[in-house]
Amino acid sequence: MKPKLQVLEQDISTMTKDGMEYICITDIAKFRNVDRTDIIIGNWLRNRNTIEFLGIWEQLHNPNFKPIEFDGFKKEAGLNSFTLNSKQWIASTDAIGLISKAGRYGGTYAQKDIAFEFASWISVEFKLYLIKEFQRLKEQEFQHLGWDIRRNLAKVNYLIHTDAIKENLIPDTLTPQQIQFVYASEADVLNVALFGVTAKQWRDESPSLTGNIRDHANVHQLVCLANLESLNAHFIEQGVPQSERVVKLNELAIRQMGILTANDLMLLSQMEAE
C-alpha cells in the first residue's frame, strides 16, 4: 500500500523510484477540477517558465537528459499552437522528473521538488499544506525506520546471547521444558538488570499492555539492551555465575542509561539556547 498524503481533504498518492520520491500531480490537479486533471497538467506544461524549470532540474539530476530536444520545447513554449503532455516530455527528453503511470494507481507523478512547483501553480495555500504534510510523512517514516533498525540490532545480539546460553548452559540431558526455563531465566537476567523486573512481574503490573516488556522499551533502553546481551554472552562464556552477572549488568545499565539521558539533556539545553 503506497503512502498517501491528506492535504485540504484531498488524498495525494506518493511513490519512490530509484531512490527518488515522487508525488502524484494528477491528485494535486483534482484540487482545482476533478474531471479535467489532464488538461490542467497540460496547461501547466505549456508554460515557458515550467519548461525552463523542468529543463534545469533535469540537467542537474539526469545525465541522460536530452538538451537539444529541451531547447526545441523551450522555443515553442508560450505559442498558442504549442501543446505538451507528460508522456511527450518524457519520451522526447528522457526526463526522469515526471513519471506517467497507467493502471489502478495511474496518473502523472512528479519528483517532490517539481510537485511542489506544480502545487504552487495550482494554489499557494495548497503548496504550503502539501509541504507540511509531506514533511510529517517523512518524519513518521524516519521514526519507524529508526525503530526497526534498533529492534533488528537487539535481535542480532539476541542470537549471540541465545547461542552462548545453548553452548554453555544447556547440557544434553535437559528436557525441552527445562531448556525453555534456562532461556527464560537468562532473558530475565537482562530484564532485571535493565528494567528492574522480570517478564512475569511486568505482565502482572501491566495487564492492559500488549506484547512484552521489550516492545515498550524506549530508544535508550533498546541500545542498552543490545549492549547487555553481548556482554552477558561474554560473561556466560567466561563461566561467571548468574548471581554475579546480574549485578555487573545492572551496574552497566545504570551507567549507560545515565550517559544516554545526560546526552539528551545536553542536546535539549543547546536547542533551547539557540
Q: How distant, in Å, are the alpha carbons of 58, 67, 91, 205, 242 from that of 46?
A: 17, 18, 16, 66, 75
Look at residue 271 in the predicted model and tell me its pLDDT. 45
Q: Give residue-wise pLDDT tens across range 47-56.
A: 999 999 999 9
All cell numbers assigned to 108: 502523472
Q: Give residue-wise pLDDT tens across range 68-78.
A: 999 999 999 87
Buried b (16+ CB within 10 A) or exposed e, 45-72: bbeeebbebbbebbeeeeeebeeebbee
Q: Give residue-wise pLDDT tens across range 171-198.
A: 777 788 888 888 888 889 999 999 999 9
Could you tell me which residues come within 8 angstroms of residue 266 by beta carbon, excluding any fewer than 6 positions away?
none
224 has a pLDDT exceeding 50: yes
**Among 55-64, 76-85, 87-96, 114-123, which stretch is predicted with the lowest mean pLDDT?**
76-85
Look at residue 5 in the predicted model and tell me its pLDDT. 81
Look at residue 263 in the predicted model and tell me its pLDDT. 60
CA 251 to chain centre: 34
> Is this prediction's pTM over 0.85?
no
